Amino acid sequence: MGEQIAAAAPPAPPPAAPPGRRPKRFIRIKRPLRPQPDPNSPRLPDSIFALVGERLNLHKKVQSLIRSGYLDSASDTARDAVSSDTRPTVFTCNAVIASMCRARRYDDTLHFFHFFFNESNIIPNVASYNTLIKVHCDAGRVDVALDVYRRPHIHAEEAPPFSPSPVTYINLTKGLVDSDRISEAVDLLREMPNNYKGEAYSVVYNNLISGFLQLGKLDKALELFEELREKCSSVNNNYDGIVHATFMDWYFKNGREKDAMESYQTLIDRQFAMKPATCNALLEVLLRYGKSLEASTLFDNMLNSHTPPRFDAVNSDTYNIMVNECFKLGKISEAMAVFRKTGMKQGSKPYAMDAACYSNIVGKLCEHGLVSDAEKLLEEMQMKPSTLDFTTYKIFIEVYLKEDRVDDAIQLFNEMALFLTNFIPAKGFCDKVFDEVIKKGRLKEASDILGRMGRREVKPDPTSYEIVIKGLGETGRLDRVWDLLDQMKKYGIALTPTLQYIQESRNP
């Protein structure tokens, strides 16, 4: 009996694991995968990692429309996306409101800020607020801009914690100086954190220095300049030489050439690397007041210091400033030499010419009647597609139409509008070309190009259809009129009042 009871007893449990030696599987189960978010914490703006996939494609499309001047199409695209599965990121929203601000469409900027960040519950970031501040400053509403800075939650319902950036102070100080409130700008300067880089301080100080110089208060401007130098040296940063360009311009204007050049030499003697924007400002001041030799020397030094990717010492604006000065003086061959110029110092690298450089010099050559020389550069650009842009095509198409080279104009227009699908012609340009081509008796080509453009993702303007359809109607090509009207209906392109009347006459 005792043996049966012993057999029925449950087996003894295994010995317990020594302390600190729990099974790994148990540890993995107990450890949370990630910290649980606090439901009471404020929502944060999108990070750059949100800009992927379809949202990135949407952003690129909106940016392309903005660059081509289609601000309404860009804003409509972003607004429609809010109610779709591909909601825009804060970066796309910022691109829209910033483009409206640059175009001085201040009411539209405020409208879309409210739509994106209040009605659509997209969380704004500091760039969003900086644009809002700039809009109010540019429109003369500095008090409202200051209110955005002080109380951002009043202007966006779900405002995250607001940490002003250097751009915030740059916009506000400029707005205050422009509104003759320079003492308040100085007070705001004292609120700037002490962890910004020297160049950030420099632009803010430059706003104030420029304001005091305009008031004729040189002593106060020099006092601020000395304060800037001390602040930058205390954090082992160099100040931005843009301040010297401001002093130089004021000295030159007031007949103090010696002081201007001493200020310039003081900056050059420091021998620290200056970013292109700073050197470009110095170049412009030197050239404006006839110091071409010093400008050429500075340009050569910039080229010798250009060692990408370690340091970029020049940009397209640098070349354009120097090239344009040569054209201004009628030195065409010298302009071409400047365009081809590279650094001579060992280790320097040639600047990779971009579309902005090519389109600038091509435009200048055409202005001076040197179309054949410009065409040689166009051939060079076509070997490097990254240098082609809408501006270049626009220059040549307008020149060809002016010189009655209609076939060449149509060929380039066809290439630009149809085959280079990443290009979007600027608003109104297609209308102008269609009108000119039709006047020169090439209605069929205009109709064919427009029909093929309609099948692209970015559709032509309704006004382009109106121009071509009116031309077709005047020549009795009603079959083609109906084809284009059907295309507009198929792709959801709105009818102009004139086209609406024609459509109604088709189906009385």
| 148-199 pLDDT per residue, tens | 998 877 766 666 667 888 899 999 999 999 999 999 999 999 888 876 665 7
| DSSP state, residue 307 | B
Domain-ending residue, one of 406, 421, 436 = 421
Note whether 357 and 388 are same-domain residues.
yes
CA angle in degrees (0–180, nearest 5) for 363-289-182: 100
- Which band of pLDDT confidence, cut at 50, 70 and 90, is reported for residue 9? low
Is 234 part of a structural domain of the chain? no
Domain end point (choices 382, 399, 421)? 421
The pLDDT value given to residue 281? 95
Residue 398 sits in the same domain as residue 463: no
Which pLDDT band holds residue 408 (cuts at 50, 70, 90)?
A: very high
Q: How confident is the model at residue 387 (pLDDT cuts 50, 70, 90)?
A: confident
Residue 35 pLDDT > 70? no
432 and 409 belong to one structural domain = no
Domain match, 503 and 429 both: yes
| 291 in any annotated domain | no
Of 347, 348, 328, 327, the C-alpha closest to 339 is 327
pLDDT in tens, 72-117: 889 999 999 999 999 999 999 999 999 999 999 999 999 999 999 9
Nearest C-alpha neighbor of 397 from the set 360, 356, 434: 434
The pLDDT tens digits for 332-367 are 999 999 999 999 999 999 999 998 999 999 999 999
Separation between Cα atoms, residue 329 and residue 290, nearest integer Å: 11
Identify whether 482 is part of a domain.
yes
C-alpha dihedral sign at 214, 216, 220, 226: positive
Nearest Cα neighbor of 75 from 61, 56, 86, 55 is 61
Rounded to whole angstroms, the Cα distance separating 116 from 98 reads 13
Distance CA 197, CA 169 (A): 13
| Residue 293 placed within a domain | no
For the chain, what is the mean pLDDT?
Answer: 88
Specify whether 388 is located in the same domain as 445.
Answer: no
Would you place residue 257 in the very low, low, confident or very high pLDDT band (cuts 50, 70, 90)? very high
**Tokens, residue 78:** 């972003």
- Do 384 and 440 belong together in one domain? no
How far, in whole angstroms, is CA 92 from its chain's centroid?
12
pLDDT in tens, 41-68: 677 888 889 999 999 999 999 998 888 7
Is the previous residue joined to 309 through a cis bond, with omega within 30 degrees of 0?
yes
Read off the pLDDT of residues 223-254 as tens digits, 9 standing for 90 and up. 999 999 888 776 556 788 899 999 999 999 99
Same domain, 402 and 390: yes
Q: Would 476 be classed as within a structural domain?
A: yes
Give the pLDDT score at 507. Answer: 65
66: Cβ contacts below 8 Å, ≥ 6 apart: 74, 95, 96, 99
Q: Are residues 473 and 502 in the same domain?
A: yes
Same domain, 434 and 490: yes
| pLDDT of res. 43 | 76
Mean pLDDT of 116-138: 94
Torsion of CA 402, 354, 378, 468, to 10 degrees: -40
pLDDT at 272 over 70: yes
The long-range contacts involving 261-269, CB below 8 angstroms and separated by at least 24 positions, are: 261/291, 261/294, 264/294, 267/241, 268/298
DSSP-derived 3-state class of residue 265:
helix
Question: 454 and 417: one domain?
Answer: no
Indicate whether 248 belongs to any domain: no
pTM over 0.85: no
pLDDT at 239: 80
Q: What is the pLDDT of residue 1?
A: 45
Our count of domains for the chain comes to 2
**pLDDT value at 38 more than 90:** no
pLDDT at residue 222 greater than cutoff 90: yes
pLDDT of residue 175: 96
- Among 421, 456, 474, the domain-final residue is 421
pLDDT at 32 over 60: no
% of the chain exceeding 90 in pLDDT: 67
pLDDT of residue 198: 58
Residue 430 domain-assigned (yes or no): yes
| Domain residue limits at 393 | 353-421
Q: CB atoms < 10 A from the CB of 3, how many?
A: 7
Establish if 225 belongs to a structural domain: no
